[in-house]
Amino acid sequence: MTTLIINIKELLQIREIGVAKISGAAMGILPTIKNAYLIIKDNLIADFGSMDILPKTKADQTIDATGKIILPSWCDSHTHIVYAGNREQEFVDRINGMSYEEIANRGGGILNSAKNLNDATEEEIYNQSKVRLEEVMRLGTGAVEIKSGYGLTIDGELKMLRVIKQLAQNYPISIKATFLGAHAIPLAYKEDRKGYIDMIINHMLPEISKNSLAQFIDVFCETGYFTVEETEEIMNAGIHFGLKPKIHVNQFNSIGGIQAGIKHNALSVDHLEVMTPEDIEALKNTNTMPVALPSCSYFLSIPYTPARAMIAAGLPLALATDYNPGSTPSGNMNFVVATACIKMKMTPEEAINAATINGAYAMGISDTHGSITIGKKANFIITKPIPSYYQLPYAFGSNLIDRIFLEGKIIT
Ligand code: NIG
Ligand code: FE
């Protein structure tokens, strides 16, 4: 099946085959074609160019996109979409003055979600999570990473990863799974953290590997959660089972997690709300993508990742949602892009690069996703008629999406 889309006001994020990520000053450049056409064949991008050179193609379907802009689907490289229940009460408790840390210390937070998860059946978790997945697809996300980490028991972690696998099989959105058994020390192991880490390494990981349930390994490297030493031990074990590290670091404290991630060739280091000059220096000339989560900063009222300093240092940067019940109950990449512009002073070009091609890199899929490139997946957003792509972050509360294509098919 061939679809021809014509009269596109502007086609964004045109990249040559082989461009994996964008760094430093280049992030400020977003290659586009004005007055363009786009041809898709089956699930792939087959051709594109200026309307002046529109080839005489027979198409099964032609779409007139006069006044509209097309950009690749968002690539959300950090989420915890699979969970059970919610944490609305903790949200209200924080409004009334409690901190995220105080709530965690009284046994709430991640442990609260772990209780909900372990009490729920696999079917209940699937049904609750698919609603969120369908929602983010309608918001323009075409590829998403989903973490475990609310089980904190063998059964719970495996249950979460099986739900992720089932979602991946049933939906056209690309899904990567990350094992985050080291999200918190569960209550049962409060006095025996070594025992829990041994269980992750000797029992959870072999089972996950045997059933091919994850591609990545994650650890919440943070004061009160997992130390740098423990993070290294868990990353090493994950690597042994073929999982590449993507880790939570520098959310509240800079304790050396970035350096540990780089040492183990992490695909990404995520959060980065608290960054020292040494942390920025360490990321230079590495293969590790820094990932910022501005809607988490927004929801928890914590600092935003210092994007300007990082881009000025020549680093790449990716943007993701962190969609989870505690720190970011939102999976809206449009809001993330707008918040990065408004609060982190990223330009629209930088934010779109960060939310597409660099997000794809942070999931290891930039050869198939994240740009308008011949041979990549036909995953893209057609906007409503808008004056320019500046409108995407500018009109931060509006839904500017007209249609979504995933794998070459319209999503309704
Ligand atoms: O990325 N920081 C660690 N994990 C999640 C939040 C976990 C939770 O509060 O449920 C995050 O923000
Ligand atoms: Fe997270």
pLDDT-based confidence at residue 394 (cuts at 50, 70, 90)? very high
Domains of the chain, each with CATH number or no CATH? 2-73+371-411 (2.30.40.10), 75-361 (3.20.20.140)
Residue 156 pLDDT: 98
Substitution candidate for ligand 1 out of 98, 145, 183 with most atoms within 8 A of CB: 183
Q: Report how far apart, in Å, the C-alpha atoms of 40 and of each of 17, 43, 60 are.
A: 16, 7, 11
Residue 280 pLDDT: 98
Residue 412 pLDDT: 84
pLDDT-based confidence at residue 188 (cuts at 50, 70, 90)? very high
Residue 92 pLDDT: 97
- Contact status, residue 97 vs residue 167, Cβ threshold 8 Å: no
Residue 57 pLDDT more than 90?
no
Residue 1 pLDDT: 86
Helix (H) or strand (E) holding 299: helix 294-300
Residue 391 pLDDT more than 90?
yes
Spell out a b/e string for 105-142, using b for 16 or more CB atoms within 10 Å of the CB, else e. Answer: eeebbbbbbbbbbbebeeeebbebbbebbeebbebbbb
**Structure confidence by residue, pLDDT tens digits, 216-262:** 999 999 999 999 999 999 999 999 999 999 999 999 999 999 999 99
Residue 290 pLDDT: 99
Give Cβ neighbours of residue 58 (< 8 Å, ≥ 6 apart). 2
Residue 324 pLDDT more than 90?
yes
Q: Is residue 322 marked as binding?
A: yes
**Structure confidence by residue, pLDDT tens digits, 144-185:** 999 999 999 999 999 999 999 999 999 999 999 999 999 999
Q: Is residue 15 marked as binding?
A: no
CA 208 to centroid of ligand 2, rounded, Å: 20
Residue 115 pLDDT: 97
Residue 117 pLDDT more than 90?
yes
CA 202 to centroid of ligand 2, rounded, Å: 24
- Contact status, residue 32 vs residue 58, Cβ threshold 8 Å: no
Ligand 1 atom closest to the Cα of residue 83 is 10
Q: Can you say whether the dihedral through the CA atoms of 104, 107, 110, 116 is positive or negative?
A: negative
pLDDT (mean) for 87-112: 95
